[in-house]
């Protein structure tokens, strides 16, 4: 009981610390940027920024509390100066790309420096163990929250243009209570778990589920290496290198698989494909789903947004749609509105041609954006 009381006391100190408040601000800015992207593509914001921030904080707080319990039970301790160094490296790396804020990179760098040069002094297996635990937590967060508020866009693809895709940018601030080497003092450290992904060959929730599996596998592997390093010291070199390189390799491999794979959302030979449905609008209410192919509306064949708009231009009170759904026969859906009529399905559709495409690498850090702006001016 005393341990639980100490845990909650320490945790309350963590979530009121400057570190946590500063990271919450960073998360808020990231959500704002994602909201601007969503509004530019959909014309609406499906969930308010405050709601998105609420979920990020809620999942981060719950995950941090569970992780803090595990970390304190395992007796993982980190020096005060070492915590500051890890954080400083993370913040510097974030200036190049926001995903480098992940502790895998800063802890990997610090661990290798400690092992090779003897500075800073660090309990490398404990640091690697922390990375493994955090990524198991990250896999759970991706599974539960990764696909939420994914932004549908059009992209240029080498085989199919245009193609539909979903951009997923998530950031969870995870407050941790960790005992320092100087004694029973619990120092606040905030781990930032990021999920930057693209769903091109799959629906967002399927993509998030697959990413969750690989991140979880990475976490378990790193956790195993850390445990072995406690018994076989030289394995710490391999564990530190794997922490850094395997994380980056996993990200690049997953991204390549999406960008080089066959897109799931392209214009069909006949009909028009649904990429996204707006909440509480006609399409969602009548049962349309992402990936559906609309073949006809009120008995008339449709192959473009313009043909769809022409039929709905008369504000019909009743509409019926023939829809081809994956692995199913053609089904019929109906919707009635006898008061105002229907002039819009509330859906984002895949066009056959478009001059608007999403440009990747938009989550680069401050330095990368400054360099990109400078290069554009030089050109």
pLDDT digits (tens, 9 = 90+) for 212-230: 999 999 999 999 999 999 9
CA gap 299, 301 in Å, rounded: 7
One-letter-per-residue 3-state SS of 42-91: HCCCCCCHHHHHHHHHHHHHHHHHHHHHHHHHHCCECCHHHHHHHHHHHH
Mean pLDDT in residue range 39-44 = 95
Mean pLDDT in residue range 57-68 = 94
Closest CA to 263 of 350, 168, 138: 350
CA gap 192, 171 in Å, rounded: 7
User: Which pTM was predicted?
Assistant: 0.91
Is 284 buried (19+), middle (13-18) or exposed (0-12) by CB count in 10 A? middle
CA gap 198, 106 in Å, rounded: 24
CA distances from 4 to 15, 59, 221 (A): 17, 20, 29
Q: Give me 240's structure tokens.
A: 């530190």
Percent of the chain residues past pLDDT 70, beyond the cut = 92
| Per-domain boundaries in the chain | 2-260, 272-349
Mean pLDDT in residue range 319-328 = 89
**Which pLDDT score, from 0 to 100, does residue 32 have?**
97
**Which pLDDT score, from 0 to 100, does residue 361 have?**
65
| 31-36 contacts at long range (C-beta below 8 A, 24 or more positions apart) | 31/56, 31/171, 33/169, 34/149, 34/151, 34/169
Q: Which CATH superfamily is domain 272-349 in?
A: PDZ domain (2.30.42.10)
Query: Tokens 């992207």 sit at which residue?
Result: 37
Residue 256: band (very low, low, confident or very high) from pLDDT cuts 50, 70, 90: very high
Exposed e or buried b for every residue in 132-171, given b needs 16+ CB within 10 A? bbbbbbbbbbbbebbbbbbbbbbbebeebebbbbbbbbbb
Reported as type and span, the H/E element at residue 215 is helix 204-231
When the pLDDT of each residue in the chain is averaged and rounded to a whole number, the result is 90
């Amino acid at each position: 009981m005393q341990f639980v009381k100490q845990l909650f006391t320490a945790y309350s100190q963590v979530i009121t610390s400057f570190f946590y408040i500063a990271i919450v601000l960073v998360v808020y800015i990231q959500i704002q940027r994602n909201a601007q992207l969503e509004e530019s593509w959909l014309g609406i914001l499906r969930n308010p920024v405050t709601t998105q921030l609420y979920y990020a904080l809620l999942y981060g707080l719950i995950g941090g509390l569970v992780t803090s319990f595990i970390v304190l039970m395992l007796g993982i301790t980190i020096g005060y100066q070492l915590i500051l160094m890890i954080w400083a490296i993370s913040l510097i790396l974030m200036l190049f790309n926001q995903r480098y804020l992940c502790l895998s990179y800063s802890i990997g760098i610090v661990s290798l420096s400690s092992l090779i040069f003897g500075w800073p002094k660090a309990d490398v297996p404990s640091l690697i163990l922390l990375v493994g635990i955090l990524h198991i937590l990250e896999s759970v967060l991706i599974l539960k929250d990764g696909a939420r508020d994914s932004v549908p866009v059009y992209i240029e693809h080498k085989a199919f243009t245009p193609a539909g895709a979903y951009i997923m940018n998530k950031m969870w601030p995870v407050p941790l209570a960790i005992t320092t080497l100087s004694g029973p003092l619990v120092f606040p450290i905030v781990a930032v778990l990021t999920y930057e992904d693209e769903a091109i060959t799959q629906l967002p929730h399927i993509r998030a589920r697959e990413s969750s599996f690989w991140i979880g596998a990475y976490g378990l592997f790193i956790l195993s290496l850390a445990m072995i390093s406690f018994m076989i010291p030289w394995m710490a070199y391999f564990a530190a290198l794997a922490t850094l390189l395997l994380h980056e390799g996993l990200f690049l491999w997953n991204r390549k698989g999406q960008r080089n794979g066959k897109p799931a959302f392209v214009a069909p030979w006949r009909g028009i494909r649904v990429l996204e449905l707006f909440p509480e609008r006609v399409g969602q209410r009548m049962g349309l789903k992402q990936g559906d192919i609309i073949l006809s509306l009120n008995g008339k064949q449709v192959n473009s947004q313009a043909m769809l708009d022409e039929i709905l231009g008369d504000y019909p009170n009743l509409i019926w749609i023939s829809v081809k759904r994956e692995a199913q026969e053609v089904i019929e859906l109906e919707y009635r509105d006898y008061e105002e009529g229907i002039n819009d399905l509330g859906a984002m559709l895949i066009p056959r041609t478009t001059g608007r495409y999403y440009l990747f690498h938009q989550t680069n850090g401050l330095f990368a954006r400054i360099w990109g702006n400078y290069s554009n001016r030089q050109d």
